[in-house]
């Protein structure tokens, strides 16, 4: 029997989902709440990547693009800023720390995913988010919740190096963490130096800093 209930939708508009996140009852597939969640996050990223500013972005526009009701969004997020930051978080790759590797190799691992995303929308989204984070105290606070676990992993590796006698006891952990991450973010987001190869950047940054903080070997 042919289904005659579907209709053509305007381009860029998702099929309407109910508050459970589904068009119609389905026996298999992802949970309906998961589909709704993913549709909402995708809608935010699509709108930002297409040039909608953070100030212009509205819950109404996100709901329309995702094909959900506004109530579905408000049940998951307290407001627009929370939603935007979760969408940005979805662009970031996890930071691995493999057990058994040296401090040097763990630091290279951590830097290898700084400002890197497998989602092509990241190249448009990150640059438009940064100015808003600097202007908006609430967004800045939420952003800190994203980056603090990443800073903590870097501190963990550096402190392990100090405890193991690989790094100098007087190493300023917080400053070194900043000095490791800063150049990688600057180069990958702004291409500050066209002569630097992104592929070898993490190793070069780590090795250059270790020359100053590593314990000399006889």
Tokens of 159: 């402190």
CA distance 8 to 6: 7
pLDDT for res 89? 85
The pLDDT tens digits of the residues spanning 143-153 come to 898 889 889 99
The pLDDT tens digits of the residues spanning 25-79 come to 444 445 557 889 999 999 999 999 998 988 899 999 999 999 999 999 999 998 8
Which residue, among 170, 178, 175, 180, has the nearest Cα to 103 in the 3D structure?
180
pLDDT at 83 over 90: yes
pLDDT for res 172? 96
pTM of the model: 0.71
Q: What percent of the chain has pLDDT over 90?
A: 44
Confidence of residue 22 (pLDDT cuts 50, 70, 90): very low
Burial class (CB in 10 A: 0-12, 13-18, 19+), 97: middle
pLDDT for res 188? 83
107 close to 154: Cβ distance less than 8 angstroms: yes
The pLDDT tens digits of the residues spanning 117-171 come to 778 888 888 888 888 888 889 889 888 988 898 899 999 999 999 999 999 999 9
Higher pLDDT pick, 214 / 93: 214
Confidence of residue 21 (pLDDT cuts 50, 70, 90): very low
Tokens 């509205």 appear where?
58
The pLDDT tens digits of the residues spanning 96-110 come to 777 788 999 999 999
Give me the helix-helix angle, 59-66 and 80-91, nearest 10°. Answer: 50
Domains of the chain: 32-90 (1.10.357.10), 93-213 (1.10.357.10)
């Amino acid at each position: 029997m042919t289904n005659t209930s579907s209709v053509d939708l305007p381009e860029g508009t998702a099929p309407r989902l109910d508050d459970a996140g589904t068009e119609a009852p389905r026996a298999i597939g992802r949970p309906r709440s998961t589909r709704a969640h993913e549709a909402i996050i995708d809608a935010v990223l699509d709108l930002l990547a297409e040039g909608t500013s953070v100030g212009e972005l509205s819950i109404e526009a996100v709901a329309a693009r995702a094909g959900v009701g506004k109530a579905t969004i408000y049940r998951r997020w307290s407001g627009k800023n929370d939603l935007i930051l979760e969408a940005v978080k979805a662009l970031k790759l996890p930071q691995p720390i493999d057990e058994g590797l040296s401090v040097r190799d763990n630091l290279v691992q951590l830097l290898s995913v700084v400002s890197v995303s497998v989602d092509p929308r990241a190249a448009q989204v990150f640059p438009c988010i940064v100015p808003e984070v600097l202007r908006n105290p609430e967004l800045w606070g939420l952003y800190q919740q994203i980056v603090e676990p990443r800073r903590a992993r870097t501190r963990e590796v550096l402190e392990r190096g100090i405890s193991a006698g690989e790094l100098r006891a007087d190493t300023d952990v917080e400053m070194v963490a900043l000095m490791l991450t800063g150049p990688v973010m600057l180069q990958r987001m702004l291409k500050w130096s066209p002569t630097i190869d992104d592929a070898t950047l993490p190793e070069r940054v780590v090795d250059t800093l270790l020359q100053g903080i590593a314990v000399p070997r006889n």
